[in-house]
Structure 1
């Protein structure tokens, strides 16, 4: 199978005891082509104004941006973090977390392994059914000092998912891309600090912050975004 890193060259390889991972665009459904193409050229500054510190400081982590195909067409896998967690409690997010030493090199395959491992631990996902097809530039979450690599995956062979550890995850759910692009489900989230950012009101959840920002940029650069009312605001204590 042909494998390649976004841009050029190989992105794979194994070391003793490491999970074999690679980035491959072979066999992707046609509707994912715009996302794959965008991942080849998008720059960090086009995704977020929060970029990793030049000093290299920050907690290295990765998230799995997993696209599947459900009853209503293309969809994304999300989870709601447990309310007892110290970092981003109760917030909808992509599966993901910090890199462990066994994940390997943080500059190459480490984020891929971490994204798959964390998704397994948090949602019960069978990662053998996931095809990684792209990696977005590393971004920064100032409030928690996470340096996050978004890993793009195609759920080639779907598997059952659900809460594995209630201490980490409150629920696991999928969101149709059609709902994410629906202008009626879009708003601007207003943080008590005054910070504003994109938000999505979907599946009885308010998706905001880092996760909403990544989704917003993917929709934009994939050409899926529809005009929406950016003056529509929603406070972060919103409930469906």
Structure 2
């Protein structure tokens, strides 16, 4: 599968440069186990152009799922054998396939322009390859299977960088991490961590109040 930076909009330049140079430890302290354990998976970080400028595609997982229930996330999931080599372009195929299965996205309209280092989600033992795409030809998206996906939505980057929408999410275990209060959702965990780092290394981050804390049951 082709990874190409050709013909991207100018505003994506800072993201492209960040993807080229960022090191795994700059993204997360959770890196894949050295012994190769973990389930290979991929997510699609899809940038599009909306009415309010650049935006990201996200989805909210169904509340009945066994892992990460009700959590906003990038489209994605585990690699299937037909996706191919996990160390090659298997994650690229998986990211597009899962995005199509979950959101109805037409993969033909997506230009993959970069791949971030593999990261690790300890709670589910997923080794995740973040695949970055430009939504060159947007297609209609919606929750394909309500048993898996509660809803599909886009978030303007201007809202993600707005200090008023930023907070630190506190897990019942005491673990704290970056969060975004956008589109009636609390984006936290792995997804928020990756967005936070992308905004930072692209130079889009604005100063925000890191002492502002929200519990995961913030709607209660």
What band does the TM-score fall into relative to the shorter chain? Answer: over 0.9
Name which of 87, 94, 97 aligns with 1:107.
87
Q: Which has the higher contact order (CA 8 A, sep 6+)?
A: 2
Q: What residue number does 2:152 align with?
A: 172
Structure 2-normalised TM-score?
Answer: 0.99
Structure 2 CA distance for aligned equivalents of residues 78 and 130 of structure 1: 15
Q: What residue number does 1:205 align with?
A: 185
Q: Post-superposition, which runs of at least 4 consecutive aligned residues in structure 1 deviate over 4 A?
A: none
Shift of 1:239: 2.1
Shift of 1:238: 1.0
Q: What residue number does 2:21 align with?
A: 41
Structure 1 residues 152-189: Cα deviation after superposition (integer angstroms, max 9, x where no partner): 00000000000100010000000000000000000000
Q: What residue number does 1:142 align with?
A: 122
| Matched residue SS, 1:237 | coil
Q: Where does structure 1 lack aligned partners over 5 or more consecutive residues?
A: 1-20
Name which of 18, 29, 47 aligns with 1:67.
47
Structure 2 CA distance for aligned equivalents of residues 112 and 87 of structure 1: 23
Structure 1-normalised TM-score?
Answer: 0.91
Q: What residue number does 2:61 align with?
A: 81
Structure 2 CA distance for aligned equivalents of residues 35 and 239 of structure 1: 32
Structure 2 CA distance for aligned equivalents of residues 238 and 91 of structure 1: 13
Check conservation: 1:205, 1:239, Cα contact below 8 A. no
Structure 2 CA distance for aligned equivalents of residues 104 and 191 of structure 1: 36
Q: Give the aligned length.
A: 220
The Cα RMSD (Å) is 0.7
Q: What residue number does 1:159 align with?
A: 139
